[in-house]
Amino acid sequence: MSTREKIIDAAMAIVREQGVARLTLDEAAKVAGVSKGGVLYHFASKDDLIRGMVSRLIGQCEGIQKSYYESLPEGRHRWARAVVMTAFDPNGPASDPVGGALLAAVAVNRELVQPLREKYQEWLARMSEEGADLDATMLVCTAMDGLVFHDLIGLNLLNEEARARLKARALALLEN
């Protein structure tokens, strides 16, 4: 595996095991088995390292979404339904502590949002191609983002039953 990948792995492991606050260049270097200078060779700054983590997370998220898409029957809102399924997936983005960390980083530094925006636009394009009711789709997708966001900051408002009802309601809006 490339050193670059090893460093991202190390960074994500640190965040998962010790929390964001402990993600320092020194620690990432130590876990990845290189010097701090080595980390800064591959990533120009800490923000740059975070960008790398964001990209990887987006990739994972997209993988989950795609596999849901493939498992769903054809239909007008197939992609949108996949988005809903992903948001509620126990292994999805809402459950990864790394997500919260990156959320923080993105909130602080606006330019980190760029790769995320591009991916969102790609998803939107995909959904509009399948002839969806775009208003309902946007409402549902935005709600899914709200849900993931609630999970990421630990705002436990909904119990399992309420979550199930919300999921059903969201999918209902995407009927026919």
Partner DNA sequence: ACCTTCGGGACTGCCCGTTACT
Partner DNA sequence: AGTAACGGGCAGTCCCGAAGGT
Q: Which two tokens stand for residue 167?
A: 């999921």
Cα dihedral 154, 155, 157, 158, rounded to 10, equals -30
Q: Which residues bind DNA (CB under 7 A)?
A: 3, 21-27, 29, 34-38, 40-42, 44-47
Residue 31 CB, shortest distance to DNA, in Å, is: 12
Closest CB to DNA among residues 98, 147: 98
155 near a second copy (CB under 8 A): yes
Q: What angle do CA 12, 84, 105 make, to 5 degrees?
A: 30
From the list 25, 69, 27, 71, the residue with the least C-alpha distance to 48 is 25
From the list 38, 152, 138, the residue with the least C-alpha distance to 95 is 152
Q: From the list 44, 107, 128, 175, which residue makes contact with a second copy (rule: CB under 8 A)? A: 107
Q: Could you tell which of a second copy, DNA, none binds residue 38, using a CB distance below 5 to 8 A set by kind?
A: DNA
Torsion 1-90-53-9 (CA) sign: negative
Q: Could you tell which of DNA, a second copy, none binds residue 170, using a CB distance below 5 to 8 A set by kind?
A: a second copy
User: Contact positions toward a second copy, by CB under 8 A?
Assistant: 20-21, 100-101, 103-110, 113, 116-117, 120-121, 124, 135-136, 138-147, 149-150, 152-158, 162, 165-166, 168-170, 173
